[in-house]
Amino acid sequence: MLLRHTSAEITERKALTINPAKTCQPIGAMYAALGVHGCLPHSHGSQGCCAYHRSALTRHYKEPISAATSSFTEGASVFGGQANLLAAIENIFAVYEPEVIAVHTTCLSETIGDDLPQITEKARRSGKIPEGRHVLYASTPSYVGSHVTGFSNMVKGMLAVAEPTGTKNGRVNIIPGWVEPADMEEIKRLAALVGVDITLFPDTSGVLNGPLSGEFHMFPEGGVTIKQLKSTPDSIGTLALGEWCSADAARHLDSLFKVPCRVLEMPYGLKATDRFIDALRKIAGVPVPEEVNLERGQLVDLISDMHQYFYHKKVALVGDPDPLIALVEFLATVDMCPVHVLTGTPGKRFEKKIKQLTAGMPFNVNVRSSADMFLLHQWIKNEPVDLIIGNSYCKYIARDEDIPLVRFGFPILDRVGHQYFPTVGYKGGIRLLEKVLGALLDRKDRDDSEQSFELVL
Amino acid sequence: MSTTILEERKSQIHRAGAGPIDLACNRESLAGAVSQRACVFCGSRVVLYPIADALHLVHGPIGCAAYTWDIRGALSSGPELHRLSFSTDLRERDVIFGGERKLAAALEELVQRHRPKAAFVYSTCIVGLIGDDLKAVCRAAAARTGIPVIAVQSEGFKGNKRAGYLAACKAMFELVGTGDTAGIDPASVNIFGDFNLAGETWIIRDYLRRMGVEVVANVTGDGRVDDIRRCHGAALNLVQCSGATLELARMMQEKYGTSYLRVSYVGIEDMADSLYRTAEFFQNSDPGILVRTQALVRSELVKILPELSRLRRDLEGRKAAVYVGGAFKAFSLIKAFRHLGMQVAIVGSQTGTPEDYEELAAISDPGTIIVDDANPLELSEFIKEKGVDIFVGGIKERPIAYKLGIGFCDHNHERKIAMEGFVGMLNFGLEVHRSVTSPVWRFMPRRAADSADRSKEVEAC
C-alpha cells in the first residue's frame, strides 16, 4: 500500500499540498513555445527549472525537448538577471540559430523584478537579435495559477508579433489549448474537412510526435510560423478552445485588433465537438460535410451499442480545468456519473461550471479547484468509484484501491499513444470511449465468477 | 545546422591524446546554454530522497515538489513516506508576506499525521529571496515535535548540483552522532552514495554480509534515520559517486575519525577492487576476510563470465558514448564497456572536477572526446562523427539517441534494472545488447545501408 498514509478522514488543509494535481507556470509556457516553428524556449531562471521542465516534457512526449536557460547564479539573483538574459539571447542566436526565442520567467526572475519587455527591447536595440529573428516573452511566476496559466500566458505572448495589414484574409484563428500534438493535428483535419482555412497556434504536431529520421533536429518541421502569427489580426475571427488555456489570447486579439472571438469548450466528446463543428460550419457558411456527419454517427453508434455498460458508472476525474469540463459533459452524455472532479489549478469558476453541468443529475458531485491528489484519494475512500480518469500519478490510487484507470492528461509517464491518437473530435470520442470500455470490461472479466464469465459482451 | 561550437565552450571539450588536458569544469553553464545540468535543490533532493522514513517537505512553489515526485526508483524495503510529495505550495501572498507561518503549519500537520523519524525541509530559489528563516522555523518545529527537523539550504540559484550535494551532506551530518552505537561490530561500514536504484544497495549489502562486514547505515539508498544517527559507530565509510556524499565522509573523518574509501560498484574490476580494498581494511582484525572475499568474487564471476563472453561476440568493436552525472561512474563504465569488447568514443559528465577529467583522459583511448556540461547539438555531432552505437545517459538524452537511430542505456536514476555488482555487470551487458542489436535500427535511413552491408557479409560467410 504505497498510499497507506492516506486517511479517509478529511481535514481542511491550508498550508500544505500533498501529491499535487498541478505544476508550475513555466512548463506550460515551454510546451506552448514548442508549438512555434523554429522556436527555442528559454527559461529565465536557475538551471534546475529548465532541466526539470525538459525532463518532464521528455518523459511525457518521448521526444527531445530543447530549451535554454539563463543559468542564474547568486550574483544574478542579487543584481538582476538582465546581463544573463542579454548574453543568453546573443549566445542562443549564435549557436543554435533558432528563428524565435520564447522567454518565460520563473519565480526567481519574477521576484527580483526582471522586466522582460525592457530587456528584450534592449537586446533589440543593441543588435543582439539578428534581422528576421524574434524574441517572444511571457511572464510566468510559478507562485500564481498553474502550468495551465503559463501555457495561456505564452500563447498570449505570441501575439506580440501580430501585424495587421488592414485586409482580412478569410482565415480563422484557432487556439487549441494544452492538448496533445495528435489533437492539434485532428483539429486541423476537421477544419479542413469543413473547409475552413485556419491558423492554429500553438501547434505542436510535427514537433512532439515526429518520426525517427536518423538525425537530431533541434527544430523539427512543425509549429505555427512567425508569418502565420503575424497575420492573426487579419483573420475573420478566433475560436478559443478552453477558457483557461486559450481565452486570454483570443480576447487580446479581439481588444487590440477587433478580431471577434468565441470561447468554446475543448472539443472532447459528442456535444463539445458538435459545438466546435457548428462554429466552424457557420464561419464557412456551409452545411456539415458528410464525412464529418459519418464520424459523428459512428460515435453515437458506439454509445448506443454499449450504453448498458456505461449506465451510472461512477468516475473520479483529475486534471486541468478545460479538458475536465468537456470530459464531465461527455461522461454525463453517455450516462456515467462523474462523482469526483478535481483540479490543482485555482479558479472557483471551475467549480461553478462543473456544478452547472451536473445539476439535476441523480448523484452528488464533489468538485474542487486548487486541490490535490491526496484529497481525491480521500474522496474515493469515502465514496468508491468504478473508474479513475487522470494522469499517470493516479496509478498509486488505482493500485491501492483496486480501481481501473484510464490515463488522460499530463503527464503520462508510463504508457504511449497519447502522442499519436487524438482524443478530440468524434474520432477522438470513439477512442476515449474505447479506452473507458476496455478498462471497465477488463475489470468485469477479471472479477466475474467462473459461472458468470461471459464470452460475448 | 552548423557544427559551430561556441568559443567559450571549447575549453570544456578535449580530445584524448591531443596534448595535456586542461578542461574548464565545475563552473556555471553559459547563459543561453541548452545545458543538461540541474540546480542546487535538485542535488540535495536526489541525495536525501531515499531516506524512506523521513519526511521530505519542499518549501516553495509547487513546481519543485511536482518535478521531484517519485521520479527516482530508489527502492525502500519498508516505509514509503519518501514517495509522497509534500509542498507548502507558495502562492503570491506568501511571496509578499513570507512563508514561515505556512511552513510551520505544514510541518505541524505532517509530523502529527505521519510520525516520521525526522523531517528534511528543502529551501528553494524563492525562499532564498524572500528571506524566510528556515532554520528558525525548523528549530521551533523540532522543539515542539521532538523529532529532528533539518533545514536543507538548497536554494536553486546558489550554484549547481554539486552545491546541492554539499547542502544535503550538511543536513545529514546534523543527524550523524545522535544515536547509540552500542553493539556495532568492529568490521562495519556505511554505504554512501548508492541510491538503491532497482535494489542495487541490497546487492552490495549481500556481498558485504558474505564477507563478514556489518552495514550500519546505507545512508542514501533504502536509508533510515535511526541508522544514520548511529552511523558514526561504523569503522569505515564506503563512498560511491564522486560528488554526492564525499563531503559527508570528509566531515565524519574530521569529527569522528572515520576512514573512508572511494569505491565503485559498476563493472567487474571496480566492483572487485572495492570489495578487496574493504577486505584489506579489515584484515588485521579479521585475517580470514581476504579469502572469503576472493571466494565471493570467484563465485560471482563464474556465474556471469560465460554469459558475458556470449554478449561480447555480438558487441565486439561497437562504440559507446557515455554522458553521466558524475565522472567516477564514467571511469567504471569505460572499463565495463571493454569487457563487452566495446570502446567508449565520447565521454562526459555534468559535475566532474579537474582531477576527474585528468583521470578520464588517462584511461581513455586516444581520440576519445572528453566533454564537460555538453549540449544536445554537440552530443549529436560527436555521435555522428564517431559512429557511436549506444549512448549511456539520462532521461533528456534518451530521445536524442533514438532520433539518431542508436541504442540507449539509462545509467541514471530512471534505470529499472540493477547495474551494480557482478550481476549488475551482466544486466548492463544484457541491456546494451538488447538496445545495440535491436532490429529497429535497421529501419533507420542512415544505418539501413550499414546493416545491408553487414547482412551481405553474413551471406558471404
Q: Give tens-digit pLDDT for A204-263.
A: 999 999 999 899 999 999 999 999 999 999 999 999 999 999 999 999 999 999 999 999
Residues B164 and B138 in one domain: yes
Nearest chain B alpha carbon to A68? B34
Number of domains into which chain B is organized: 3
Mean pLDDT of A28-51: 96
Examine residue B443 and state whether it is found in any structural domain, yes or no.
no
Which residues of chain B does A50 touch, with a Cβ-Cβ cutoff of 8 Å?
35
Residues B159 and B217 in one domain: no
Q: Inter-chain contact B32–A89, Cβ cutoff 8 Å?
A: yes
pLDDT at residue number A313: 97
Q: Provide the β-strand partners of residue A20.
A: A372
| Nearest CA distance, B298 vs chain A (angstrom) | 39
Distance CA B119, CA B125 (A): 20
Q: Inter-chain contact A215–B404, Cβ cutoff 8 Å?
A: yes
Q: Inter-chain contact A97–B1, Cβ cutoff 8 Å?
A: yes
Distance CA B198, CA B194 (A): 11
Distance CA B369, CA B376 (A): 15
Residues B107 and B232 in one domain: no
Does residue A97 belong to the interface with chain B, where contact is any CB pair within 8 Å? yes
Q: Could you tell me which residues come within 8 angstroms of residue A133 by beta carbon, excluding any fewer than 6 positions away?
A: A93, A98, A99, A100, A101
| Nearest CA distance, A44 vs chain B (angstrom) | 9
Q: Inter-chain contact B156–A108, Cβ cutoff 8 Å?
A: yes
Residues B47 and B165 in one domain: yes
Residues B168 and B192 in one domain: no
Examine residue B23 and state whether it is found in any structural domain, yes or no.
no
pLDDT at residue number A125: 96
Residues B240 and B362 in one domain: no
User: What percentage of chain B carries pLDDT values higher than 90?
Assistant: 73
pLDDT at residue number B195: 94
Nearest chain A alpha carbon to B407? A214
**Contact in structure between B147 and B139 (CB atoms under 8 Å):** no
Is residue A360 exposed (0-12), middle (13-18) or buried (19+ Cβ within 10 Å)? exposed
Nearest chain B alpha carbon to A112? B129
Q: Which residue carries 558474505 as its cell?
A: B210
Q: Inter-chain contact A52–B42, Cβ cutoff 8 Å?
A: yes
Residues B222 and B168 in one domain: no
Examine residue B143 and state whether it is found in any structural domain, yes or no.
yes
Residues B52 and B168 in one domain: yes
Which of B268, B300, B332 represents a domain boundary (last residue)? B300
Examine residue B116 and state whether it is found in any structural domain, yes or no.
yes
A47, A74, A144 ranked by CB distance to B35: nearest:
A47
pLDDT above 50: residue B3: no
Q: Give tens-digit pLDDT for A55-99.
A: 999 999 999 999 999 988 888 877 889 999 999 999 999 989 999
Which CATH number characterizes residue B98's domain? 3.40.50.1980
pLDDT at residue number B6: 60
pLDDT above 80: residue A359: yes
Examine residue B399 and state whether it is found in any structural domain, yes or no.
yes
Comparing A74-78, B215-219, B377-381, which segment has the lowest mean pLDDT? A74-78
Nearest residue to B422 via CA among B257, B263, B272, B238: B272
Residues B222 and B157 in one domain: no
Mean pLDDT of A172-195: 98
Q: Give tens-digit pLDDT for A407-433.
A: 999 999 999 999 999 999 999 999 999
ipTM exceeds 0.85, yes or no = yes
Helix/strand/coil for A200: strand
Angle at A101 between CA A99 and CA A104, to 5 degrees: 160
Q: Inter-chain contact A15–B109, Cβ cutoff 8 Å?
A: yes
Mutate to test the interface with B, among A6, A13, A18 (most CBs of B within 10 A): A18
pLDDT at residue number B243: 72
Residues B165 and B193 in one domain: no
Examine residue B183 and state whether it is found in any structural domain, yes or no.
no
Full domain range(s) for residue B225: 188-300
Examine residue B240 and state whether it is found in any structural domain, yes or no.
yes
Distance CA A56, CA B63 (A): 11
Which domains are assigned to chain A?
25-161 (3.40.50.1980), 172-284 (3.40.50.1980), 307-447 (3.40.50.1980)
Which of B173, B197, B216 represents a domain boundary (last residue)? B173
Grid cell locating B381: 555531432
pLDDT above 70: residue B385: yes
pLDDT at residue number B372: 83
User: Model confidence at B360, in pLDDT bands (50, 70, 90)?
Assistant: confident
Q: Is B146 left (phi over 0), alpha (psi -120 to 50) or beta?
A: left
Q: Is A242 left (phi over 0), alpha (psi -120 to 50) or beta?
A: left
Angle at A394 between CA A392 and CA A397, to 5 degrees: 145
Q: Inter-chain contact A74–B158, Cβ cutoff 8 Å?
A: yes
Which of B112, B141, B173 represents a domain boundary (last residue)? B173
Nearest chain B alpha carbon to A9? B113
Q: Inter-chain contact A218–B1, Cβ cutoff 8 Å?
A: yes
Residues B269 and B322 in one domain: no
Q: Give A415's DSSP letter.
A: -
pLDDT above 50: residue B461: no
pLDDT at residue number A279: 97
pLDDT above 70: residue A194: yes
Does residue A108 belong to the interface with chain B, where contact is any CB pair within 8 Å? yes
Distance CA A206, CA A203 (A): 8
Which residues of chain B does A40 touch, with a Cβ-Cβ cutoff of 8 Å?
34
Strands (E), A53-163: 68-69, 100-105, 134-138
* Cβ contacts from A onto B, under 8 A: 252
Which residues of chain B does A70 touch, with a Cβ-Cβ cutoff of 8 Å?
31-32
- Cis-peptide, bond into residue A411, ω within 30° of zero: yes
Mutate to test the interface with B, among A2, A19, A107, A320 (most CBs of B within 10 A): A107
Nearest residue to B406 via CA among B423, B425, B387, B429: B387
Question: How are beta strands B13-15 and B369-372 bridged, if at all?
Answer: antiparallel
* Amino acid in the structure at residue A275: R
Number of residues that this document lists for chain B:
461
DSSP codes joined into one string, A251-269: HHHHHHH---EEEE---BS
User: Model confidence at B351, in pLDDT bands (50, 70, 90)?
Assistant: confident
List strands edge to edge, sheet with B118-123.
A17-18, B86-87, B54-59, B118-123, B149-152
Does residue A339 belong to the interface with chain B, where contact is any CB pair within 8 Å? no
User: Model confidence at B8, in pLDDT bands (50, 70, 90)?
Assistant: low
Which residues of chain A does B402 touch, with a Cβ-Cβ cutoff of 8 Å?
212
Residues B70 and B166 in one domain: yes
Mutate to test the interface with A, among B26, B101, B157, B396 (most CBs of A within 10 A): B157
Examine residue B455 and state whether it is found in any structural domain, yes or no.
no
| Average pLDDT score, chain A | 96
pLDDT at residue number B452: 59
**Contact in structure between A216 and B404 (CB atoms under 8 Å):** yes
Q: Give tens-digit pLDDT for B223-255.
A: 999 999 999 999 999 999 767 899 999 999 999
Nearest chain B alpha carbon to A41? B34
